[in-house]
Structure 1
Amino acid sequence: MITKKIGVIGCGNMGGAILYGALESGVLPKENVYVYDINPVMMEKAKGWGVNLAKDDEDVCLSSDIILLAVKPQNAAEALSQCKKALDEKAMMSIVAGVTVERLRNMIDGTPRILRLLPNTPAMVFEGAFAICSDNDFTEEELEIAKSIYSTIGIIEMVPEHLIDAACALNGGGPAFVAMFIEAMADGGVKQGLPRKTAYRLAAQTALGTAKMILEKELHPGEIKDMVTSPGGTTIEGCEALEKGGMRGAVIDCINKAAEKSKKL
């Protein structure tokens, strides 16, 4: 259990998912967490989790040893300006998409240590995927604390900062893309007569199980495909349809477009 005081600036979808997952896992004691969000609805949600509610961004920083900045990119400069000098010599974790460490430093009055990372919303169900910058100036203890927070609610991959935009597209936006594929699979099942609820459950569980085969059994995706595609069978017919529809190219283009947008934020 982490004994350092942890502050959270921004408790929306992503910040809230991380905080909720960390609290539920038991790695963060609620009495050691301080939260502020400009949205009263988000503050009420945080209150329900039993954490300390700060009066503003500066109060979060003054009360905490390590601060998680989880605001939208367009709100980062304003939020950091409200911290005043309270971030000086503190440790700050940033999940602000598209905003580099250099840009963050230019927004801050003081010289905090900064760790940039890219999370995703499945952290709420302890299945998050976190890309953490390997080039950071956190102390060894602070980095271990960060890893302990995120490893309890998902998996961690250390990447250099210049690859964070790629991670933003892949694991950051990935839940939306995977959900779209699951929805499309379910639509196909419904077209063939399956009840909608049944189709969603079968499609979602299939995606979950396949992912576990890759992560836990370390099977190559192509190997899983070959395991299922019997000669002259039904699955190879479906694979042919996906190839004719340009599925691979569309997905690659999807990640490229999202990564390029991240670079422009």
Structure 2
Amino acid sequence: MIANLKVGFVGAGKMATALARGFVRAGLVESDAISASDVSPAALASFVREAGGRAMESNAAVADAAEVLFVAVKPAQVAGVLQEIAPQLSRRHLVVSIAAGVPLARLQAVVPEGTRVVRVMPNTPAIVGAAASAYALGAHATVADGELVQNLLAALGFACQVPEPLLDAVTGLSGSGPAYVYMVIEALSDGGVAAGLPREVATRLAAQTVLGAARMVMETGQHPGVLKDQVTSPGGTTIEGLHELEKAGVRAAFIAAVRAATDKSRLLGNK
């Protein structure tokens, strides 16, 4: 438990719910120390049902109740929300934005001078406690603020601090990355079906294979290329499959996807 920490969520969608649920399950925050608001009554009811906490009647009420305030609304709504709650913000508040592409400078421009702000880029596997998150500290955020955010995000998976300019690359890689991997799982499953496997079996085998390969990278600490070579026997089946992937430019396609999503994140941040 982090010293009776009071956490608020302006926006109570799926990502906010995943974060709150993770904090509670990890024993970092008491459920009754969490508050949330949302323009959608259904989203707010779902948040309370899944993560606990209190449903508040307004964003300002959440700011009054919280010390760490997560801004979990769509990027286009961030400025308006921060302007709305600015009168409630004081030195006790740490504002944490999870809005993709909204830079710290824009966040800091609409909150009172001296407000401590952190920008976070989580990803959707936070819902199952397997997030990959990165964060950057604003001009007035302290080392202790960084440690707090690290502890909170680590309850949901992997977390690291990066310089803010690298958050666009984080968005292109781990922020958008789950969608790339879902396509891989779907394609592997299709291949299994084409080879004669029932769809349910093929999808389960494909998903478990991706999960197992990821765990091998994380738990062994070995380079993915080394692990790949360990599966690849001379004249065997795997090298035939790898040859087809190389002919199709799969490696280059993934690199291009990350770069394109990174460029899009930068474009959104400059609007």
TM-score class, shorter = over 0.9
User: Does residue 261 of structure 2 align to residue 261 of structure 1?
Assistant: no
TM-score normalised per structure 2: 0.93
Q: Which amino acid counterpart does residue 59 of structure 1 have in structure 2?
A: A
Query: 1:16, CA displacement in angstroms?
Result: 2.0
Q: Deviations over 1:152-209 (max 9, x none)?
A: 1111121100100000111111111111111111110011111111111111111111
User: Does residue 176 of structure 2 align to residue 169 of structure 1?
Assistant: no
Q: Which amino acid counterpart does residue 240 of structure 2 have in structure 1?
A: E
User: Does residue 103 of structure 2 align to residue 105 of structure 1?
Assistant: no
Secondary structure, in 3 states, of the residue corresponding to 2:258? helix
Q: 1:85 aligns with which of 84, 87, 96?
A: 87
Structure 1 CA distance for aligned equivalents of residues 232 and 86 of structure 2: 60
Secondary structure, in 3 states, of the residue corresponding to 1:11? coil
User: Does residue 160 of structure 2 align to residue 157 of structure 1?
Assistant: yes
User: Does residue 117 of structure 2 align to residue 114 of structure 1?
Assistant: yes
Structure 2 unaligned blocks of 5 or more: none
RMSD (Å), alpha carbons: 1.5
Conserved? CA contact 2:189–2:206, under 8 Å: yes
Conserved? CA contact 2:115–2:140, under 8 Å: no
Conserved? CA contact 2:120–2:133, under 8 Å: yes
Q: 2:213 aligns with which of 189, 201, 210?
A: 210
Structure 2 CA distance for aligned equivalents of residues 136 and 248 of structure 1: 38
- How does 1:65-76 map onto structure 2 within 5 Å? 65-76=67-78
Structure 2 CA distance for aligned equivalents of residues 219 and 131 of structure 1: 22
Bigger drift between 28-37 and 132-141 goes to: 132-141
Q: Which amino acid counterpart does residue 113 of structure 1 have in structure 2?
A: R
Conserved? CA contact 2:168–2:266, under 8 Å: yes
Q: Which amino acid counterpart does residue 23 of structure 1 have in structure 2?
A: V
The residue aligned with 2:184 is 181
Structure 2 CA distance for aligned equivalents of residues 188 and 136 of structure 1: 50
Q: Which amino acid counterpart does residue 266 of structure 2 have in structure 1?
A: K
Bigger drift between 53-62 and 132-141 goes to: 132-141
Structure 2 CA distance for aligned equivalents of residues 27 and 188 of structure 1: 43
Conserved? CA contact 2:6–2:29, under 8 Å: no
Secondary structure, in 3 states, of the residue corresponding to 1:84? helix
Q: Which amino acid counterpart does residue 97 of structure 2 have in structure 1?
A: S
Structure 1 CA distance for aligned equivalents of residues 56 and 145 of structure 2: 22
Q: Deviations over 1:137-157 (max 9, x none)?
A: 323433322121111111112
Q: 1:143 aligns with which of 136, 141, 146?
A: 146
Secondary structure, in 3 states, of the residue corresponding to 2:86? coil
Q: Deviations over 1:201-228 (max 9, x none)?
A: 1111111111111111101110111011
Structure 1 CA distance for aligned equivalents of residues 183 and 7 of structure 2: 35
- How does 1:178-257 map onto structure 2 within 5 Å? 178-257=181-260
Bigger drift between 249-258 and 127-136 goes to: 127-136
Q: Deviations over 1:233-259 (max 9, x none)?
A: 111111011111110111111011111
The residue aligned with 2:25 is 24
Q: Which amino acid counterpart does residue 119 of structure 1 have in structure 2?
A: P
Q: Which amino acid counterpart does residue 117 of structure 1 have in structure 2?
A: V
TM-score normalised per structure 1: 0.95
Q: Deviations over 1:103-143 (max 9, x none)?
A: 11122245410111111111122211111215653234333
Q: Which amino acid counterpart does residue 71 of structure 2 have in structure 1?
A: L
The residue aligned with 1:45 is 46
Structure 1 unaligned blocks of 5 or more: none
Number of aligned residue pairs: 265
Structure 1 residues 60 and 135 mapped into 2: Cα distance closer, same or farther (>3 Å)? closer
Structure 2 CA distance for aligned equivalents of residues 28 and 180 of structure 1: 35
Bigger drift between 77-86 and 97-106 goes to: 77-86
Q: Which amino acid counterpart does residue 258 of structure 1 have in structure 2?
A: A
